[in-house]
Amino acid sequence: MRSLKVEVRWLMSKKIFLFFMAYVIASILAFFFLLPLWWMISTSLKTNEQIFVFPPSWYPDPVKFSNYKEALNKINFFRHFRNTLYVTIMTLVGVFFSAPLAAYSFSRLKWKGRDFWFFTILSTMMLPPQVTMIPLYMVFSRIGWVDSFKPLYIRFYFGPPYFIFLLRQYFMTIPTSFDDAAYIDGCSPYRIYWSILLPLVKPALITVAIFVFLNTWNDFINPLLYLHSPNLYTLAIALQVFKGQYEVDWSYLMAISTLMTIPVLMVFFFLQRYFIRGIVLSGIKG
């Protein structure tokens, strides 16, 4: 009996030690991951002289909050913010309209050629975006959509392959008995999709929303390719105003970058529990 108690205490001590070490390692990793963020914020509050001192200073002295006001005056921040938000929202609408419907069809409905078309869609994920960049530009140029927001979001209304795959995997974790019971009650496939299955895939939808938001909010190459008028620029393009031919206004650039990062951090912190759950469960069943 005594040896059993000793063994239990040893196991508990080992468990506590491993738990403590996991937190220590996670804290160290978090520190290194947060260093670039801290450097960006501190640089946004420095004078030009402080930025280039050696050895580099991790703390602004003096703190120059006026960098934010001067940076906001140098570009029309709120117009570019509105443009970025509009493109992001329209992209989210397109993804939520197309990807769940396609994923539902590939996972729950039985129709001829379903697996063939699913693997055809997956095969398009192997194409780098640079391969389709010129053909897409030619198509949008022919229909007169260049220098507008439409090329940035309209393609997402046709089902992004990765998000179709992610949602399909999540749909397949839901027992088919839900569908059978709904069919017995007289529900149509669309009613089953909208009223029963779609609410159950909420974690996966939020995961997709986070991915879409991050990719669209930080997208640089597509706005650079399609937007020519300065009043249409998104924030990622507007930041280039601070990069001249011979010098860069690093304090202003970091100030706007900090403001641009705030919505991303807010979205992730508020939705991270759904994000982790969606990623874990979407790969349970293939």
pLDDT of res. 250:
83
Of all residues in the chain, what percent carry a pLDDT higher than 70? 90
- Please give the average per-residue pLDDT across 146-158, as a whole number: 92
- Kind and range of the H or E run holding 47: none
| Per-residue CA distances from 6 to 11, 12, 18, 19 (Å) | 9, 10, 18, 20
Contact 100, 197 (CB under 8 A): no
Q: What is the pLDDT of residue 5?
A: 61
The tens digit of pLDDT for each residue in 197-226 reads: 888 888 888 889 988 999 999 999 999 999
Counting residues of the chain whose pLDDT is more than 90, the rounded percentage is: 28
Residue 56: per-residue pLDDT: 76
Asked whether the beta carbons of 282 and 204 are under 8 A apart, the reply is: yes
Q: How many CB atoms lie within 10 A of CB 153?
A: 20
Residue 1: what pLDDT?
A: 53
3-state class of 137 per DSSP? helix
Q: Mean per-residue pLDDT for 8-37?
A: 79
Mean pLDDT score, 21-44: 86
Residue 285 predicted with pLDDT over 60: no
The predicted pLDDT at position 43 comes to 87
pLDDT at 3: 62
At 124 the pLDDT is 87
Mean pLDDT of the chain: 84
For residue 284, is pLDDT > 70?
no
* Residue of higher predicted confidence among 84 and 43: 84
